[in-house]
Amino acid sequence: MSEAVVKVELRGPAAWVTINRPSKLNALSSEVVKTMTNTIRELEANDEVRVIVITGEGKNFSVGYDIAEEVEAGIARPEDWHGALTRNVGLSMAVWSVTKPTIAAVDGWCLAGACELAMACDMIIATDRSNFGEPEIRFGSGPVTLLMPFLIGQKKTNELLLTGDVITAAEAERLGLINRVTKPEDLQATVTRLAERISITPPITLKLTKIALTRAYEAMGLRNAVNVNLDLAATLNAAYSPEKAEFGERVKNDGLRSALNWRDSRYGKLEADSKE
């Protein structure tokens, strides 16, 4: 019997939701996305849960949506991409709009759709070996849930999304993308303490404050930006480029890791130099 791709554990007032595909670097398959979306909705209705923590099994949060699955499925038409991306956006926005505080506990890689998932959380605590970014542009795609401009501003977002550069946890903290950095061995304890502090506040106060915070960003246009980007992302993913075609062929013939190495070799060093 196969192990669940998403695990849920109640730890006091917090529900820990764990992406459980460590052998695939916790890539967000369609099964993971659907299961997590349903899980968030179920936890919303569970009065015993005050805080929701999202994390990844093993030494990585997640490398993002399962590219190999998408290539194998042969999604090509804009309308097909729109359906697939609507499902993916649905997960991030379910996390964004849930009325209970959410914390992303990040270790290792937090990339692409997984970076968007973490950004949809109210807070992000990351280990000092974590890396963040949305490198999708490097294989002819782009951000699916456009949240970054609302978190770190236009100019740095432009740089990260147009280069596909990946940044360290220290740089992410400096930019305000995440709340704090901790040692790997301290991650769970740090997040647990934060969840316990939050849970002291009465549930109705937490709920209404969370709603107010969410609506404030949506009044600034966040949800409209997400919806507009979804339509553009579907068109972009269906568009042809020689580089994208070769990337897909390399995924099929050589495997995802080899294809990613080829992709990044074209750009040189993957990690952005924060000293520049």
| Structure-block tokens of residue 257 | 């890791």
* CATH code of residue 139: 3.90.226.10
Query: Which pTM does this prediction carry?
Result: 0.91
> SS3 for 173?
helix
For the stretch 63-76, pLDDT in tens is 999 877 776 766 66
Instruction: Provide CB contacts within 8 A for 238, sequence distance 6+.
Output: 76, 77, 78, 80, 81
Does the residue 270 lie in any domain? no
For the stretch 32-64, pLDDT in tens is 999 999 999 999 999 999 999 999 999 999 999
**What number of other Cβ atoms are within 10 A of residue 32's Cβ?**
23
Does the residue 203 lie in any domain? yes
Does the residue 274 lie in any domain? no
Q: Order of strands, edge to edge, in the sheet holding 131-133?
A: 109-111, 131-133, 166-168
For the stretch 223-267, pLDDT in tens is 999 999 999 988 887 887 788 778 778 887 888 778 878 877 877
- Helix, strand, coil tally for the chain in percent (to 5): 55, 15, 30
Task: Give me the domain span that covers residue 254.
Answer: 6-265
Return the axis-axis angle of helices 78-97 and 222-238, rounded to nearest 10°. 150
Does the residue 163 lie in any domain? yes
Does the residue 276 lie in any domain? no
Total number of domains in the chain = 1
Query: What pLDDT shows up at residue 71?
Result: 65
